A and B are shown apart, each in its own frame.
Chain A
Amino acid sequence: MTAQKLQRVVVRVCTYLAESGVTMNRSNSRRVLKMLDEVLSEANGENGNGGNGNGENGEDDVGDVGEMQLLSLAMDRLPAYFPVTEETIPALSPALLRGSIRYPHG
């Protein structure tokens, strides 16, 4: 995988985290790297097990499909590393207490 492709995946993941309100401090950065390490191993494993099988060498043969695959794996894995705090959504409307409108005629 080329450095640019990996960089794009990292940037995408970091942008997602920033949008989720996660601050990129040292511990969170290490968590991201750990997650990517795990995802890369998994992707390599998948390729080794017959992934796309286009390359001559397991390190550089991922190509565009590989980048998308890596991104997808990383995005799938994010909730495990950065769990979403389930926020209670306030009630949009109160319980119904229906009124009846009377029309003069028509």
Chain B
Amino acid sequence: MVEVSGGTLSRRYRWRHIAFIRRSLLILFVLGQTAVASYYLLWVLPYHGGTWIEVGMAVLFAILYAWIAVGFWTAVFGFALRLAGGDRHGLLRRHNRESLAATPLAKTAILLPIYHEPVQWTLNGLKAVYRDIERTGGIEHFEFYILSDSRDPSVWLEEQRRWHELVRELGAEGRLFYRRRPVNLNYKSGNVADFLRRWGRRCQYMVVLDADSLLSGETVVRMVQLMEREPGVGILQTNPTIINGKSLFARVQQFANRFYSTLFATGLAAIQMGDAAFWGHNAILRIEPFMKHCGLPKLGGFGIFGGPIMSHDFVEAAFMGRAGHEVWLETGLGNSFEESPPTLADELSRDNRWAKGNLQHLWVMLREPGLRFAHRMAFLNGIMAYLASPLWFGFLVLTTLEAVRMTLIPIEYFPEGHQGPFPLWPEWRPDWALLLALSTFALLFLPKFLAILDAVLHRYTREFGGFLRLLASVLLEVVISILLAPVRMWAHSRYVVAALLNLSLSWSGQNRTEETTWREAMATQFPGMLVGGCWSAFALSLDKLFFFWSLPVAIPLLVAAPTAVYLSRTRPGRVLKAWGLLRIPEERGSPMPLLDDARRFRLEPACDPVWSPFEAAVLNPGLNRLHQALARDHRRGPRSQQLEDAVAHCLNKGPAVLSREELTGLARDQQSLGDLHTGAWRAPDQSYWGQCINRKNREQGSR
């Protein structure tokens, strides 16, 4: 580790004062604005908060308004800081480029935890990262670990095959490793913990990637150097940019992430400073304190608040902070990439998992001792990302009840609790209501236009296709986000309720290619469409004005299925890209070597087009030898007979008659693989394996 000067040490502690001032300002702005808006709401309501329904509405409104005000002020902070030339208290600003570049590297593990991901696509992304680090000239300081949790033998056999090919292609023997856990406990964090238990003292740092992560070699090297110069930092998080969007949905998410995150991430980093969150990937972690302080306990509560922690990253950051280590989000570290789910259905499926994981944090937030206040707020922020939906839904329900009350129930001139000789006249103030609605819309959409102003001031509109195209892209994104907001609200509300009732949770890989069919869209969106339609019809039967107020929520719900289908299509995405809309800087000109490599490598043909990975493992002589070499002898005790029976069964009828567990048993056992290979090549022409060989023979003949 490099020596750290006294000046660096004093700077390290000064950030806490700066952070305190910034956070106090944020709280002041958010609470002040919320108080004013809530006061306005009380005046807008007919009884000015004189009924339980109105009190409920005011409380929910205040929570939701404060929540969106946090986002608004974060963007404003980002805008102001960029106007002032960037955050001079940022971590990267502490070191000049030369001194950082001269910092020697330390041994670092690049981890790729995977679970049923598209193998060729995922590992070729890692290949691109490897090549890019190689280009920096510092590859000898890095080790790469593919950490698989895949259970399906057709997936993990393919992973083993591709790992072996990669080692040969890259000349990475002794540098690129593969590990598959036989038992996958505790999701991704358990996978990383398994790595640490085995090789935790081999490296000083670990860079954690996701299946879709790409990090440039230069960025990885700078991260290691920054960690070397800042020994107080436990986790350093980059701000990943979404790329490779093909469907319209992915391109909208990609544009929004790339364009708005300039302000949001700058603001967020400035407020969090050394108490930032860890997002689980595209980050570097100091291994020794991580092992010492970030072991995740099993929660001791009820329902979802009991058992293993599902969403590990925020908790690990909080534990790191509790141990006195800093966690930084450094926006100056560019060239960090990830991908968006390609469809709304995929995003909602991911949100289903995340909602449960984030809600579970409530237990940690309230009960874990010694956590820093900023990290408790980060938990609250994550919880609100999903809890805001049922709160909004609740607000709409109360609004409807208020409308029912005003329309169908006789006016109460002396409601319960009202004191005084004069009746309480309900009064509507539609002009105030409109103002309030406009101020809420401003909180939501002003940051987007602030981002355009930022682009104009800092002269980077051209990177997004020029001012007019950028403006059109923002307007398009605003329209689509308005269409999606109620759909997400409805879906998230269901997820939150399901999470609180602790209903089952499936943890699966992400679809990266397929479009949504009408049938799928109707199956997933129909309940929301029904709710939207019924609510709107009911609103019309009550009051015409209330009906118009319901439309911004009801219309997106009613058109949710066509929205989901059209957003999942790649053609509109391509057309808009050709028109220069929703463009991001990474799509201009020739891409950087990392992205170019990733694109080319991922286009390489996938696995054997004739044989499934299991068939190839049995029949291909080279692959069979490879898998045998990686397998073990499992023929001990009663298992020996089971394996023999399974081999005979598989040779007779083929792998389809065996369960996944039986196939896994065969693929993990050296002798079974050898016996299958020998038997399959000697099988009659009409048998399953004979037919497999004939298919390959026909394919060879057609070449």
Contacts and interface: CB of A to CB of B under 8 A. Distances in A.
Interface in B289-339: 291-300, 319
A77 interface: no
A16 B696 CA distance: 10
Given A89-B626, A93-B177, A99 B700 contact: no
Interface stretch (A33-41, A47-55, A68-76): A68-76
Contacts, number: 105
B167 interface: yes
B693 interface: yes
Given A68-B682, A84-B621, A90-B164, A96 B693 contact: no
A43 B696 CA distance: 28
Contact of A87 (B620, B625, B693): B625
A11 B300 contact: no
Interface residues of A, number: 34
A72 B319 CA distance: 63
Interface in B155-204: 164, 167-168, 173-174, 177-179, 193, 196-202
Nearest to A4: B685
Interface string B590-633: 00000000000000000000000000000111100110011000
A37 B197 CA distance: 57
Given A89-B164, A99-B201, A104-B295, 15 more contacts: A12-B693, A19-B619, A19-B696, A64-B684, A68-B684, A75-B681, A87-B625, A89-B630, A90-B174, A93-B199, A96-B199, A97-B199, A102-B293, A104-B297, A106-B300
Nearest to A106: B297
A93 B319 contact: no
Contacts of B202: 94, 97
Nearest to A69: B682
A25 interface: no
B318 to A, nearest CB: 11
A99 B199 contact: yes
Nearest to A12: B693
A92 B178 contact: yes
A16 B700 contact: no
Interface pairs A-B: 10 shortest CB-CB: A99-B200, A106-B297, A103-B295, A90-B173, A101-B295, A89-B629, A97-B201, A20-B621, A97-B202, A90-B167
B630 A92 contact: yes
Contact of A98 (B200, B693, B696): B200
B621 A19 contact: yes
Contacts of A84: 621, 625
Contacts of A104: 293, 295, 297, 319, 368
Contact of A105 (B196, B297, B621, B622): B297
B143 interface: yes
Q: Which of A8, A15, A91, A106 has the most CB of B within 10 A?
A: A15
B198 A93 contact: yes
Given A92-B177, A94-B199, A18 B291 contact: no
A57 interface: no
Contacts of B143: 94
Contacts of A102: 291-293, 295
Contact of A15 (B174, B287, B626, B693): B693
A83 interface: no
B292 A98 contact: no
A91 B292 CA distance: 29
Nearest to B322: A104
A97 B620 contact: no
B197 A100 contact: yes
Nearest to B626: A89
B697 interface: yes
A21 B622 contact: yes
B323 to A, nearest CB: 10
B696 A101 contact: no
A12 to B, nearest CB: 6
Contacts of A103: 295-297
Contacts of A91: 173-174, 177
A62 to B, nearest CB: 14
A75 B630 contact: no
Nearest to B621: A20
B295 A75 contact: no
Contacts of B620: 19
